[in-house]
Amino acid sequence: MTKRILPAYPLWLIDPLFSVWSKTDDLNAGDTVFWTGLEKRAYGLVRWNGKTYSFMGRRDGALPLEQTACSVSAFSTDYTFRGDGFVIKVRFVSPLLPNDLEVLSCPVCYTEYEVTEGELPADFSVALVMDEEFCYNGERAWVVGGVIPQKGYEAAYFTRGRNLLCSDTSDMVSPDWGDVYLAAKEAWLVSEAGIALYVSEGRREYLKKDCERLFLLAVNTDRKGYFMTAYDEKLSVFYFGEWLKGYFFRSGKTILDALDFSREKHEEVLAACAAFDERLRADCGKVGKDYYLLACASLRQSVGAHVLVENKKGELLFLSKENNSNGCIGTVDVSYPSIPLFLLYNPALVNAMMQGIYDFAKMPVWNYDFAPHDLGTYPWCAGQVYGTANREDKYCCGMHATWASPRTNQMLYIRPAASDVYDKNCQMPVEECGNMLVMQAAAILAGADKSLAKKNFPLLRQWVKYLEKYGLKPENQLCTDDFAGHLAGNVNLSVKALAGIEGFCVICRALGKDALADTYEEKARVFAEKFKQRVGDGIMPLAYGQKDTFSVKYNILFDKLFGFDLIGSDVCERETAYYIEKAGRYGIALDTRETYTKADWILWAAALTDDPAKCEALYAPVLRFLAETPSRVPFGDWYYSVRGDIVHFINRSVVGGCFAPLLKLSGKMRVK
């Protein structure tokens, strides 16, 4: 068994509806799974001198190869296996390049292989197999498929016979729609009998038996080659009345175009991934020991938890799914922690996260003077579902007024203001206003188009006025960490309000509104002075007046990165030293109330210190968590700091926040 690196290993990641992982350290020691934990069995097989060996999955009749190495890079998970007289290397590449939207949105992954030792026998072949369960969620359904001959390769596919496009808005779900493709030199759609024939004799024949499960079988016979795995979801997003295909398909392209593109650009894409990875490795080395591994554990997951589309106005939308937390789409307080990654590599994607929130905030149904929380439930942008009112009247939507909003595709966005859909007590007023202002300012500083801020300036001004009025001492309300419940006088939330006011100053300056910028710079300074008087000296408490408490003050980050430093470096150093002192084995607890923590916020906190040793001391426990947690799932951001097991929240985009120390090092945010 090779040394464990991660709790689960990414194999094929495309978007929230196609995300395949291995939860065992040896790839052939267990079945592959979807990010939700459902088995989505795929097998990797090698035919060699009359025997069939497995490198992925547990397949009856195949001998498991010995796995001798496993590593991860920015876009690949790499394995080495040894058999009787040969060595084969296998790489699972998900080319989710944040700086190349065409490649990022092309729904195709590569599986690369190379036999590095041993003379090829006459019967040599390498095969990938996919079970029909890739076509449906939990309950077996009628599956159909076939093989398409392409120039130089073949593509086998299968799909549910009754395709229920965008039919399930549940959280922990794999789709009951879309087509799955597997392409190689040869490709077959066969039943169990056909797979058994390949395993026993290495033969490939069109062999199907009634009532047997269907499989895709792809085969290569060269010493070095690759397979392509693709998912065509057909429709990606419902966006306030528009049905949108993925960005790659915006001009009428088909999934066959995507496969051809990936084949024609194969070497070019791999080279771009390698160049990105080389640069990332060098940059991470400047942050600290093993930080590169943390970046690699975060990157594919964070990008792959989004879908990229373009609406009819030509506006880019980069929409996250709130995986394993309630299934919302485009959630502001999920976007906010993720932005360090995207500010570094493509700030246009930060604009694309915000576009939908601006659009929804202008609709009559949203009759508040603060920013919304979400756009609906994935993949339906049909109006915010978080905190919908559950009243006893005939106009009620019939939904619960809790943070765990139900999955719905009700057309909330078309309702008039008089519907009174939302319960204000279940909103995040200061939180979301601060998030949007910081995100917009940061995107501009990172080089994003300023026109989005200009077009939505009235909303931004409305939201900053809300922070002026309510941010210094927030009322009893939720913040990003809504799972911890309501809290009045939340000190960390006040810090976010300060950062939001500073962000508005940055926006005004960028738009040439210098007089207004000067006004808000002064307002930020006065706010900070009043805040410091309220909070007092020493470690800042969880809430005003709560002695002997603390919380991780991650919201200081952009006060520091923007260069205002109104909280002060001395406070940052004092706070981070305290976090190190109080940390459990797997990191500092989120606050005094519980022993659980958040990985993204730990990395934001690590970026607060100017001492590299302290930065490393803060993030090292997160690496320990990845290596030791008993929860064998994709990177979970909410876990117990002492025990290391997951509370909730897996495969979420928020782990893009692990790039916060790298963002700080880049200096891209500094304006003062």
Instruction: Please check the confidence at residue 463 and state whether its pLDDT lies above 80.
Output: yes
Q: Mean pLDDT across the stretch 300-318?
A: 98
What rounded mean pLDDT belongs to the chain?
95
Compute the distance between CA of residue 317 and CA of residue 356 in angstroms, rounded to an integer.
Answer: 7
Compute the distance between CA of residue 136 and CA of residue 354 in angstroms, rounded to an integer.
Answer: 32
Q: Mean pLDDT across the stretch 192-219?
A: 91
Instruction: Please check the confidence at residue 27 and state whether its pLDDT lies above 50.
Output: yes
Instruction: Please check the confidence at residue 390 and state whether its pLDDT lies above 80.
Output: no
Compute the distance between CA of residue 145 and CA of residue 300 in angstroms, rounded to an integer.
Answer: 29
Instruction: Please check the confidence at residue 378 and state whether its pLDDT lies above 60.
Output: yes
Instruction: Please check the confidence at residue 131 and state whether its pLDDT lies above 50.
Output: yes
Compute the distance between CA of residue 40 and CA of residue 179 in angstroms, rounded to an integer.
Answer: 14
How confident is the model at residue 541, as a pLDDT?
Answer: 95
Rounded-to-5 percentages of helix, strand, coil across the chain = 35, 25, 40
Which of 181-185, 509-513, 545-549 is least confident? 545-549
Task: Decide: helix, strand or coil at residue 647.
Answer: strand
DSSP string, 31-60: -EEETTS-B--EEEEEEETTEEEEEES--T
Which of 50-54, 266-270, 388-392 is least confident? 388-392
Instruction: Please check the confidence at residue 650 and state whether its pLDDT lies above 50.
Output: yes
Compute the distance between CA of residue 179 and CA of residue 354 in angstroms, rounded to an integer.
Answer: 30
Residue 21 contacts residue 634 (beta carbons within 8 Å):
yes
Query: At a CB cut-off of 8 Å and minimum separation 6, what does 287 contact?
Result: 612, 615, 616, 661, 662, 665
What's the CATH number for 9-273?
2.70.98
Q: Mean pLDDT across the stretch 458-482?
A: 92
SS (H, E, C) 148-167: EEECCEEEEEEEECCCCCCC
Q: Mean pLDDT across the stretch 88-103?
A: 98
How confident is the model at residue 405, as a pLDDT?
Answer: 47
pLDDT of 146-168, one tens digit each? 999 999 999 999 999 999 899 98
Q: Mean pLDDT across the stretch 228-255?
A: 97
Task: Decide: helix, strand or coil at residue 374.
Answer: coil
Longest dimension (CA), the chain: 80
Instruction: Please check the confidence at residue 522 and state whether its pLDDT lies above 70.
Output: yes
Q: Mean pLDDT across the stretch 51-62?
A: 96
Residue 184 contacts residue 225 (beta carbons within 8 Å):
yes
Compute the distance between CA of residue 33 and CA of residue 133 in angstroms, rounded to an integer.
Answer: 11
Half-sphere exposure in the Cβ direction for 17 (13 Å, CA): 31
How confident is the model at residue 398, as a pLDDT?
Answer: 56
How confident is the model at residue 395, as a pLDDT?
Answer: 77
Q: How far is CA 419 from the centre of its chain?
A: 34
Residue 78 contacts residue 324 (beta carbons within 8 Å):
no
Which of 454-463, 485-494, 560-569, 626-635 is least confident? 485-494
Task: Decide: helix, strand or coil at residue 25.
Answer: coil
pLDDT of 586-622, one tens digit each? 999 999 999 999 999 999 999 999 999 999 999 999 9
Instruction: Please check the confidence at residue 317 and state whether its pLDDT lies above 80.
Output: yes
Task: Decide: helix, strand or coil at residue 108.
Answer: strand
Q: Checking DSSP bridges between strand 9-15 and strand 18-22, what pairing results, if any?
A: antiparallel
Cis peptide preceding 337, ω within 30 of 0: no
Of all residues in the chain, the percent with pLDDT exceeding 90 is 88
Compute the distance between CA of residue 24 and CA of residue 91 in angstroms, rounded to an integer.
Answer: 16
* Res. 53 pLDDT band, cuts 50 70 90: very high
How confident is the model at residue 150, as a pLDDT?
Answer: 96
How confident is the model at residue 389, as a pLDDT?
Answer: 80
Instruction: Report how far apart, in Å, the C-alpha atoms of 431 and of each of 334, 435, 480 are.
Output: 11, 6, 7
pLDDT of 558-569, one tens digit each? 999 999 999 999
DSSP category for residue 556: G
Residue 300 contacts residue 220 (beta carbons within 8 Å):
no
**For residue 17, with 0-12 CB atoms within 10 Å meaning exposed, 13-18 middle and 19 or more buried, which class applies?**
buried
How confident is the model at residue 359, as a pLDDT?
Answer: 98
Q: Mean pLDDT across the stretch 656-661?
A: 98
* Res. 672 pLDDT band, cuts 50 70 90: low
Residue 288 contacts residue 625 (beta carbons within 8 Å):
no
* Res. 205 pLDDT band, cuts 50 70 90: confident
Rounded to two decimals, what is the model's pTM? 0.96
* Res. 403 pLDDT band, cuts 50 70 90: very low
* Res. 285 pLDDT band, cuts 50 70 90: very high
- Which residue ranges make up each domain of the chain? 9-273, 321-666
Residue type, 538: G
Instruction: Please check the confidence at residue 209 and state whether its pLDDT lies above 90.
Output: no
Compute the distance between CA of residue 254 and CA of residue 295 in angstroms, rounded to an integer.
Answer: 33
How confident is the model at residue 482, as a pLDDT?
Answer: 79
Which of 255-259, 468-472, 667-671 is least confident? 667-671
CATH T-level assignment (fold) for domain 321-666: Glycosyltransferase (1.50.10)
Q: Mean pLDDT across the stretch 304-316?
A: 98
Residue 319 contacts residue 349 (beta carbons within 8 Å):
no
How confident is the model at residue 408, as a pLDDT?
Answer: 64
Sign of CA dihedral 579, 585, 589, 593: negative
Instruction: Please check the confidence at residue 387 and state whether its pLDDT lies above 90.
Output: no
Instruction: Please check the confidence at residue 402 and state whether its pLDDT lies above 50.
Output: no
Secondary element (H or E) of residue 255: helix 255-264
Instruction: Please check the confidence at residue 193 and state whether its pLDDT lies above 60.
Output: yes
Query: How many DSSP H helices and E strands does the chain contain?
Result: 17, 27
Q: Return the axis-axis angle of helices 612-628 and 569-582, rounded to nearest 10°.
A: 40
Compute the distance between CA of residue 560 and CA of residue 528 in angstroms, rounded to an integer.
Answer: 13
Q: Mean pLDDT across the stretch 639-667?
A: 96
Compute the distance between CA of residue 286 and CA of residue 282 in angstroms, rounded to an integer.
Answer: 7
Instruction: Report how far apart, in Å, the C-alpha atoms of 341 and of each of 185, 278, 280, 433, 666 are.
Output: 37, 16, 11, 21, 12
Q: Mean pLDDT across the stretch 86-109?
A: 98
Strand partners, 518: none
How confident is the model at residue 404, as a pLDDT?
Answer: 46
- Closest among 233, 220, 245 to 110, alpha carbons compared: 220
